Amino acid sequence: MSARAAQSSVAAHDRGLLVAAEVQVRGVSAQVHVAPGEVVALLGANGAGKSTLLGVAAGMLRPDRGRVELDGEVLLAVGSSGGSGAVPGGPMNRPVDLPPHRRGVALLAQEPLLFPHLSVLDNVAFGPRAAGASRRAARDAAARWLERVDLTHLADRRPGQLSGGQAQRVAVARALAAQPRALLLDEPMAALDVTAAPEVRQLLRRVLSEAQDGAGPGQPPQPPVLLVTHDPLDALALADRAVVLDAGHVVEEGPVREVLSQPRSAFAARLAELNLLAGTAAADGLRAESGPTVAGVLDPGCSAGDAAVAVFPPAAVAIHREHPATGVSSPRNTIPVLVSAVEPRGALVRVRGSVEADPASISPGNSGPGDSGPVDSGPVGHPAAAPVLAADITAASAADLDLVPGSRVWFAVKAAEVAVHAARR
C-alpha cells in the first residue's frame, strides 16, 4: 500500500494533510493521509511511533527522511528521494522544513499546557494575537470561542484555578481559535479523570463536526484532524478512519468500527479488548445494525437517535447452551452467537463468535468441524458485516459447555455492563 501511496501522492494528497516520515533511531517508517474534514485516529501502543508522526507534522521533530504536505503546500521535505521505503522523499532539489509557527498546524496535547501567567481569555486569544490581530480583536474572537466551549464564566480565571476538564476545554478553544489549517490531537483525554474525559470527548465531537460543516466563526472549513490515542473509545467517538501503528509501521487502516470490531492484525485485536456493537442509540440501549437491540447505559454525551456503539468487556459475558431465563432484578441481554474460535488464555478461555442474524436458526448440538485448536478465522458462512463478539470464561465452564468452533450458544451480558457511547457516523 505504501508504494501505491507514494506513486499517487501528488494526485491523491493535494488536499488535506499528508505526513510521511522515517526516523531511524526510533524505527519509524510510516505514512498517514488525512483528507479535508476527515478525522483519522492513529492507534498504537506506547512507542509505536504515533507521537513521532505527530512531532514531524507539527515541526517539532525533523525526520531522517520525510514529507509533510498541507493542502498541496510542502511543509517539510527532507532526505533523499531514491529510497524504496514507505516514505516518499519526493523530487526535491533543496530540503524544506518550515518552523512550527509557519505551518498552521495546531497541537492539542495530553496536558492542557495553558500558559499559567495568562488568564483563560488571554490564553484563547494567544493564537489570534500571534497572527497579528489587535488585542481587542483577539479578545473578541477568544470570547466567542469560550462561548462555544461553554466557559465564558471562567474567562478571567487563571489556569491554576481550573479543574483538569475545564483546562482541557480551554485548550481546545485555544487550539481552534488559532484557526489552524490542520489539527493534531495527542491523546487529549488520556490525562483526565473518568468524569472529565467524557466531557472533553463530547466537546471535541461537537466542535470537530462543526468544523467539518464549516460552521465555526471565521473558521476555514474542513481542517484535517489527526488524533493520536490508545483508547478505542476516543477513536469510535471522534474518528472516521483508524490507522494502526505497530513498531513504527502502519499495520492496518480502515473505518474505525471495522478496524476495531474485526481486527485483521494481531495488534488491533489486542488493542480492541472490548466487544463492540455499532448501531443507533435508543432510550435504554442500542439498536444494533446487525439486528438485536441491546440494553445498556447511555453515556452522558449520547442521546437517542445518535450514531452509537455499545461496548462491553469479554469478561462480563456468560455463555449458555440454552436460552437463559430472563433476569429478575436487572435486565439481561441474550445474543445468539455462532462460535468461531476457542482459545485458552491462561486460566481462562476466550470464546469468539459471530452474532447470528436469526435467533430462530439456533439449534443445540455440535454442528461445527470439530476442530479443537484455536481458530482465527472470519465468520464463515455469514455475511461479512456480522459483528464478532468475545467472551472470557473459565476452562471448566468451557469444558462443561463442550464448546468447539461451530457451536451455537447464547452470550448473556447484564445491561449494567454495557456502555453505549456516541460514535462518529
Partner 1 sequence: MLRSGQQRSAQQRAGLPGWAFAPAALGAAFVVLPLVAVVVKVDWAAFPALVTSDASLAALRLSLVTASCSTAVCLLLGVPLALVLARCSFPGLRLLRSLVLVPLVLPPVVGGIALLYTFGRQGLLGSSLEVLGLRIAFSTAAVVIAQAFVAMPFLVLSLEGALRGRGTRYEQVAATLGASPSIVLRRVTLPLVLPGLASGTVLAFARSLGEFGATLTFAGSLQGVTRTLPLEVYLQRESDARGAVALSLVLVVVAVVVIVVTRGRRTEGV
* Closer residue to partner 1 in complex, CB, 143/362: 143
For residue 179, the minimal CB distance to partner 1 (Å) is 8
**Contact between 211 and partner 1 (CB under 8 A)?**
no
**Contact between 218 and partner 1 (CB under 8 A)?**
no
**Contact between 60 and partner 1 (CB under 8 A)?**
yes
For residue 9, the minimal CB distance to partner 1 (Å) is 24
Work out which of 14, 115, 156, 365 binds partner 1, going by CB under 8 A.
115
* Closer residue to partner 1 in complex, CB, 115/215: 115
Chain centroid to CA 45: 13
**Contact between 116 and partner 1 (CB under 8 A)?**
yes
- Which of these ranges, 28-36, 111-119, 232-240, 245-253, lies near partner 1 under the rule CB under 8 A? 111-119
Among 129, 219, 142, 141, CA closest to 181: 219
**Contact between 76 and partner 1 (CB under 8 A)?**
no
- Which of these ranges, 21-29, 173-181, 290-298, 345-353, lies near partner 1 under the rule CB under 8 A? 173-181
For residue 51, the minimal CB distance to partner 1 (Å) is 12
Work out which of 16, 49, 63, 127 binds partner 1, going by CB under 8 A.
127
User: SS3 sequence, the chain?
Assistant: CHHHHHHCHHHHCCCCEEEEEEEHHHCEEEEEEECCCCEEEEECCCCCCHHHHHHHHHCCCCCCEEEEEECCEEEEEECCCCCCCCCCCCCCCCCEECCHHHCCEEEECCCCCCCCCCCHHHHHCHHHHHCCCCHHHHHHHHHHHHHHCCCHHHCCCCHHHCCHHHHHHHHHHHHHHCCCCEEEEECCCCCCCCCHHHHHHHHHHHHHHHHHCCCCCCCCCCCCEEEEECCHHHHHHHCCEEEEEECCEEEEEEEHHHHHHCCCCHHHHHHCCCEEEEEEEECCEEEECCCCEEECEECCCCCCCCEEEEEECHHHCEEECCCCCCCCCCCEEEEEEEEEEEEEECCEEEEEEEECCCHHHCCCCCCCCCCCCCCCCCCCCCCCCCCEEEEEEEHHHHHHHCCCCCCEEEEEEEHHHCEEEECCC
| Total residues binding partner 1 (CB under 8 A) | 28
For residue 54, the minimal CB distance to partner 1 (Å) is 10
Q: In angstroms, what is the C-alpha Rg of the chain?
A: 24
**Contact between 175 and partner 1 (CB under 8 A)?**
yes
For residue 60, the minimal CB distance to partner 1 (Å) is 6
Work out which of 23, 32, 58, 311 binds partner 1, going by CB under 8 A.
58
Binding mask 77-106 for partner 1 (x = CB under 8 A): ----------------------xxx-xxxx
**Contact between 173 and partner 1 (CB under 8 A)?**
no
**Contact between 131 and partner 1 (CB under 8 A)?**
yes
- Which of these ranges, 32-40, 176-184, 228-236, 297-305, lies near partner 1 under the rule CB under 8 A? 176-184
For residue 131, the minimal CB distance to partner 1 (Å) is 5
* Closer residue to partner 1 in complex, CB, 43/171: 171
340 class by beta-carbon count within 10 Å (0-12 exposed, 13-18 middle, 19+ buried): buried
For residue 75, the minimal CB distance to partner 1 (Å) is 12
394 class by beta-carbon count within 10 Å (0-12 exposed, 13-18 middle, 19+ buried): exposed
* Closer residue to partner 1 in complex, CB, 117/153: 117
* Closer residue to partner 1 in complex, CB, 45/113: 113
For residue 52, the minimal CB distance to partner 1 (Å) is 15
Residue labelled with grid coordinates 484557526: 179
* Closer residue to partner 1 in complex, CB, 130/266: 130
**Contact between 184 and partner 1 (CB under 8 A)?**
yes
Rounded Cα–Cα distance for residues 265 and 260 (Å): 10
For residue 78, the minimal CB distance to partner 1 (Å) is 19
**Contact between 292 and partner 1 (CB under 8 A)?**
no
332 - beta bridge partners?
Answer: 414
Interface residues with partner 1 (CB under 8 A) are 58-60, 99-101, 103-107, 109, 111, 113, 115-118, 126-127, 129-131, 174-175, 178, 180, 184
